[in-house]
Chains A and B, each alone.
Chain A
Amino acid sequence: EPEVTQTPSHQVTQMGQEVILRCVPISNHLYFYWYRQILGQKVEFLVSFYNNEISEKSEIFDDQFSVERPDGSNFTLKIRSTKLEDSAMYFCASSKRWGQDFGTEAFFGQGTRLTVV
């Protein structure tokens, strides 16, 4: 069964360093998302991406964050200068193109646990 794949599963980085979280969405999906979950809290939306551009972003997604689809299969989230409060589980998700069946679920990857020290 197709699935969203995220690498690495766990990353530890020093405060101020840049990190890139990688995701391979399901191949026939065209909408991509990043969410994060601070330990013990709810899942929060960061950004959505369609047709090679950001379609929606939250207040959390400030200038320190960027997303890219560099090669048609990978979807990356970059944090330029990590802060302690960026420590969280980051989930990538993808969903299908909209057709006759408007509305479809987002499938989530297994997450990357980012620890900033």
Chain B
Amino acid sequence: AQKVTQAQTEISVVEKEDVTLDCVYETRDTTYYLFWYKQPPSGELVFLIRRNSFDEQNEISGRYSWNFQKSTSSFNFTITASQVVDSAVYFCALSEGTGRRALTFGSGTRLQVQP
């Protein structure tokens, strides 16, 4: 069965610091998808990134970057030069197979960015 672990319950940083959110997953499937979602204080879930198991290229989008390493079953998320607006709960999620299956979410990491 699939499992996603986000060991960091809460992280607090000062604005402009870099911060990395860890995600470790477990699956027996060779084909799977990994996701990150952001949940701001308003409560909605905002999609950030999708990665399939065959693509280990790291990705950068503005201040966000993702490091996918199959060897360690990790899909870590780094925010560079954090801002107060980055304060939210961040969820890592896994979908086995071709991705149409249900998402299994981690327990989330609450990021507090202090001014």
Binding site for B on A (CB under 8 A): 31, 33, 35, 41-45, 48, 50, 55-56, 58, 89, 91, 93, 95, 98, 102-111, 113
Contact = CB atoms under 8 A, between A and B. Distances in A.
A2 to B, nearest CB: 13
Interface residues of B, number: 25
Contacts of A55: 100
Interface stretch (B22-30, B40-48, B59-67, B70-78): B40-48
Contacts of B43: 89, 110-111, 113
A102 B55 CA distance: 13
B99 A102 contact: yes
B16 interface: no
Interface of B: 33, 35, 37, 42-47, 50, 52, 91, 93, 95, 98-108
A65 to B, nearest CB: 15
